[in-house]
Chain A
Amino acid sequence: MSITLDAKIPSGPIEKKWDKHRFDLKLVNPANRRKYDVIVVGTGLAGASAAASLGELGYNVLSFCIQDSPRRAHSIAAQGGINAAKNYPNDSDSVWRLFYDTLKGGDYRAREANVYRLAQVSNAIIDHCTAQGVPFGREYGGLLANRSFGGAQVSRTFYCRGQTGQQLLLGAYGSLMRQACSGRVKVFARREMVELVVVKGRARGIVCRNLVTGKLESYAAHAVCLATGGYGNAFFLSTNANSCNASAIWRAYKKGALFANPCFTQIHPTCIPVSGTYQSKLTLMSESLRNDGRVWVPKKAGDKRSPDQIPEEERDYYLERRYPAFGNLVPRDVASRASKAVCDAGQGVGPTGLSVYLDFRDAIARDGLDSIRAKYGNLIDMYHHITDEDPHKLPMRIFPAVHYTMGGLWVDYNLMTTIPGLFCLGEANFSDHGANRLGASALMQGLADGYFVIPATLSGYLASEKQEALKADAPEFKEAEAQADARIRKLLSAEGKRTAVELHRELGKLMWEDCGMWRNESGLKRALERIPELREEFHKNVRVPGKNEEFNQSLERSGRVADYLECAELIVRDALERRESCGGHFREESRTPDGEALRDDEKFCHVAAWEYAGEGKAPELHKEPLAFEHCKPSQRSYK
């Protein structure tokens, strides 16, 4: 297939592009909308907001999720907040500044026009969520409160205590339930999409596995939206929920959708460290802790003294030392790498040597215990509960963990993939965060995509493409069902000796070691050899109990692991190909003399979009060049 990547960026000045585009897009007559069926897979912030808004417009929407209720999507776990350019605090924020910060934060690997639109619609998101009854934090005067988040120099983050994702999702879920009540949205919970159905080159439906009965079910539509979240669990341990998967976008990839920048993964610096091999997930400790906590390790490698026995002059406050201007508030990727570096040098603490201290001693002495507890009491208690260590007495121990994937399906300005009629929203697409996402910007992007972008662009697609009626018993559906069925049978018939979880853990370890925070040519090449071996071992030696025609969580898990074993290879291949450091992607070979990430704009100022070439064949790389007319790329510096 020869593919030209056309991002379909509208012409005109950047501030006018989105308005102009919305005017240029064709409309579907309100009376005709009910004749169009739209599938939305996923009910996180992106999917729930899209399904609800499309229902509000009058389309017939089919909404799918893995959990037993749409309200439980992974977005529920987001803590810190959501950005918008309201400039309520009068600290000189603006659409332009949010645009600039997001583009720079992403290390100049995102599209200007998309990012500008994101900043532009951000304010309408806050208005809408407030109207839905989302209980944002407020000031005594009754107006909305803002905080500075993730080292931003303006206070543009809106929040609901430490449960912002939950509240935003419940708002979107409420809107979705309202549409379900009106009959315009049908919700299918406990369904996992296992195939995409492409008819005459267009996305026309999906095949799902009903997770209660095991039955494969086909659904036809005029367009399909994937809002299935990120693929961070390719690393096994991450801050993601257990069911997060690459499977939906991986099926789309194998049917012809290009996968962009798969190697761009975000590693969050403040997570509770790994404590044992049984561990099933890593818990995030909010970024806000770095506002008052100081990060340090003992100066001497292998120092086993209790932290309170280590005198001041024998402590290495390495973030403050290396980055005097930003100190403990450097961006996520920079902080994570610095922590890894000290642990590699043997200065790490805790039983495994893979953690660093986050210390509130000085903040407590300065502001008093009450004031620190007022800000972080719930986090301190959570840490205490999980680790059985009391942060009032001894510093917390933290370590970086995989948190977010900036990569995802390639989409144009309309959020359409390279398969016509297949749209991709939220964390599942690659669109707005470049090589590194800023704190509180994922929630903003998910809701921008769902509430405001998709209702316009999907309508434009439906209005301009005449499509024949199609039923879910067309041969293409039967064929897709047969493909899914064959994969399921293969998993069940291996009858080997190892569990999918064990093999997943092994994949995660390999990815973390060779394609984690610190990547180099030889490690990546090694991973490229090891992953196919592990995949072979999986298909030969996995043991999946039970049968398909029942509620079978082991089968669900093994299907997702099988896809991760393929997706991981693409992540590594992309990381190998991108011989520069940018954002969360750090190549040891591409460093400044003092060890910081060094971009190579001459060779790598592009989106790397991978095309599936068939079983056993190397995927084909397509490049979408990135042009910067408004923000000239500069080297990020936090010194």
Chain B
Amino acid sequence: MSGMKLTLKIWRQKGPGAPGELRSYGVQDISPDMSFLEMLDVLNEQLIKLGEDPVAFDHDCREGICGMCSLVIDGRAHGKDSGKTSCDMRMRGYQDGDTIAIEPFRAKGFPVVKDLVVDRSAFDRIMQAGGYVSVNAGSAPEAHSLPVPYEKAEAAMDHAACIGCGACVAACPNASAMLFVSAKVSQLALLPQGGPERARRALSMLEQHDKEGFGNCTNEGECEKVCPKSVKISSIARLNREFLRASVLY
């Protein structure tokens, strides 16, 4: 097989708090049809056979929906294809002889676990603060008892598409997770089912966001550029309105 030869500069870090560094590796026979993660698989198979420590990276579905994969590729969260996750990236965009830098999603709120793997449990804690409708199984009214205008339902779905990967945080100069928070707050604010807890939800999710060490939004717009699900920064504007509304109410 004659495929591409590439040089990879990969962030290696043994564990949380350990010093890390970019290290160079060569891979060859890379087919343009491979996905980016399959290219890393090739490297890891090679490292294991050489008796070296393979590169740790998060992944699971490998089709852009679970939000597990989280690579900064040549300085950009999820790489150069907009609207795609790291696992969606194909090697077609590269040429023989290219060098690619691969780093983890960096942010104060996302400590490194190992190599390219980070701890995003802060996102779960933000969700615990209110990213839901408080309804017990068995207590729901008939689904058609509350009609929802088509446009509202569609807009709610645009926000609900967030996969919680954290690329927005990695791309933001302030390491803000506002796009993530706003996606959930907006989804539920747009639907009547989310109405009763609307104010409390916005306030407590934002409070937890700040507690986790994520920064403030200063409208840099980097988040929406890398969001693999095209959640728009206008979502943050809606969050701000929700916050104001809630502050008046409480």
Task: Check if A76 sits within 8 Å of B124, measured CB to CB.
Answer: no
Known: A67-B66, A135-B157, A142-B147. A499 touches B193 (CB 8 A): no
Known: A280-B38, A545-B48, A551-B113. A144 touches B144 (CB 8 A): yes
Known: A52-B137, A144-B144. A77 touches B61 (CB 8 A): yes
Task: Check if A135 sits within 8 Å of B160, measured CB to CB.
Answer: yes
Task: Check if A554 sits within 8 Å of B143, measured CB to CB.
Answer: no
* Interface presence of A111 (CB below 8 A): no
Q: Give the interface segment out of B49-57, B71-79, B211-219.
A: B49-57
Chain B residues whose CB sits within 8 angstroms of the CB of A88 once the complex forms = 144
Within 8 A of B (CB), among A346-397: 385-388
Known: A163-B161, A276-B31, A280-B41. A67 touches B60 (CB 8 A): yes
Question: Interface 1/0s, chain A 105-141, versus B by CB < 8 A?
Answer: 0000000000000000000101110111101111111
Chain B residues whose CB sits within 8 angstroms of the CB of A294 once the complex forms = none
Task: Check if A180 sits within 8 Å of B144, measured CB to CB.
Answer: no
In the assembled complex, the Cα of A510 lies from the Cα of B60 at a distance in Å of 24
Known: A135-B153, A135-B160. A174 touches B68 (CB 8 A): no
* Interface presence of B22 (CB below 8 A): no
Query: What is the CB-to-nearest-CB distance from A541 to chain B, in angstroms, rounded to a whole number?
Result: 12
Chain A residues whose CB sits within 8 angstroms of the CB of B41 once the complex forms = 278, 280, 501
Known: A127-B141, A167-B160, A452-B138. A133 touches B52 (CB 8 A): no
Task: Check if A543 sits within 8 Å of B49, measured CB to CB.
Answer: yes
* Interface presence of A635 (CB below 8 A): no
Question: Interface 1/0s, chain A 540-565, versus B by CB < 8 A?
Answer: 00010110001101100000000000
In the assembled complex, the Cα of A93 lies from the Cα of B40 at a distance in Å of 49
In the assembled complex, the Cα of A144 lies from the Cα of B56 at a distance in Å of 43
In the assembled complex, the Cα of A71 lies from the Cα of B125 at a distance in Å of 12
Query: What is the CB-to-nearest-CB distance from A304 to chain B, in angstroms, rounded to a whole number?
Result: 20
Among B127, B150, B157, which residue has its beta carbon within 8 angstroms of that of A173? B127
Name which of A138, A139, A189, A546 has the most chain B CB atoms within 10 A of its CB.
A138
Question: Interface 1/0s, chain B 142-170, versus A by CB < 8 A?
Answer: 11101111100110110011011000000
Chain B residues whose CB sits within 8 angstroms of the CB of A281 once the complex forms = 62-63
Q: Give the interface segment out of B94-102, B114-122, B242-250.
A: B114-122
Task: Check if B37 sits within 8 Å of A243, measured CB to CB.
Answer: no
* Interface presence of A242 (CB below 8 A): yes
In the assembled complex, the Cα of A442 lies from the Cα of B188 at a distance in Å of 26
Query: What is the CB-to-nearest-CB distance from A167 to chain B, in angstroms, rounded to a whole number?
Result: 6
Task: Check if A242 sits within 8 Å of B153, measured CB to CB.
Answer: no
Chain A residues whose CB sits within 8 angstroms of the CB of B49 once the complex forms = 497, 499, 543
Chain A residues whose CB sits within 8 angstroms of the CB of B142 once the complex forms = 127
* Interface presence of A398 (CB below 8 A): no
* Interface presence of B207 (CB below 8 A): no
* Interface presence of B88 (CB below 8 A): yes
**CB nearest to A386 among chain B residues:** B90
Task: Check if B127 sits within 8 Å of A135, measured CB to CB.
Answer: no
Task: Check if B147 sits within 8 Å of A133, measured CB to CB.
Answer: no
* Interface presence of A522 (CB below 8 A): no
Task: Check if B38 sits within 8 Å of A279, measured CB to CB.
Answer: yes
Task: Check if B133 sits within 8 Å of A242, measured CB to CB.
Answer: no
* Interface presence of B136 (CB below 8 A): yes
* Interface presence of B80 (CB below 8 A): no
In the assembled complex, the Cα of A176 lies from the Cα of B66 at a distance in Å of 17
Query: What is the CB-to-nearest-CB distance from B16 to chain A, in angstroms, rounded to a whole number?
Result: 9
Among B15, B33, B123, which residue has its beta carbon within 8 angstroms of that of A550? B15
**CB nearest to B127 among chain A residues:** A177
We find that the number of chain A residues with CB closer than 8 angstroms to chain B is: 77
**CB nearest to A72 among chain B residues:** B66
Query: What is the CB-to-nearest-CB distance from B225 to chain A, in angstroms, rounded to a whole number?
Result: 19
Chain A residues whose CB sits within 8 angstroms of the CB of B221 once the complex forms = none
**CB nearest to A381 among chain B residues:** B83
* Interface presence of A581 (CB below 8 A): no
Chain B residues whose CB sits within 8 angstroms of the CB of A139 once the complex forms = 150
Task: Check if B120 sits within 8 Å of A130, measured CB to CB.
Answer: no
Task: Check if B137 sits within 8 Å of A71, measured CB to CB.
Answer: no
Task: Check if A276 sits within 8 Å of B33, measured CB to CB.
Answer: yes
Chain A residues whose CB sits within 8 angstroms of the CB of B146 once the complex forms = 130
Among A70, A161, A170, A279, which residue has its beta carbon within 8 angstroms of that of B124? A70
In the assembled complex, the Cα of A132 lies from the Cα of B188 at a distance in Å of 9
Query: What is the CB-to-nearest-CB distance from B117 to chain A, in angstroms, rounded to a whole number?
Result: 7
Within 8 A of A (CB), among B160-218: 160-161, 163-164, 187-188, 191, 193-194
Q: What are the 7 A-B residue pairs with the smallest beta carbon separation, nearest first?
A: A142-B147, A174-B132, A131-B140, A130-B143, A181-B128, A127-B140, A135-B157
Which residues on B are within 8 Å of A, measured CB to CB?
15, 31-35, 37-38, 41-42, 44-45, 47-49, 51-54, 56, 58-63, 65-68, 84, 88, 90, 92, 113-114, 117, 119-121, 123-124, 127-129, 131-144, 146-150, 153-154, 156-157, 160-161, 163-164, 187-188, 191, 193-194
11 additional A-B residue pairs with CB within 8 Å, beyond A127-B142, A177-B124, A278-B41:
A68-B68, A76-B65, A77-B65, A132-B132, A135-B156, A142-B147, A142-B149, A178-B128, A385-B90, A452-B138, A545-B54
Can you give 28 A-B contacts (C-beta < 8 A)? A53-B136, A68-B120, A68-B121, A69-B120, A70-B124, A72-B67, A76-B65, A130-B193, A133-B193, A139-B150, A142-B147, A142-B153, A144-B143, A160-B160, A174-B127, A180-B128, A181-B129, A187-B124, A242-B61, A385-B84, A387-B33, A452-B137, A501-B41, A543-B49, A545-B51, A551-B117, A554-B44, A554-B54
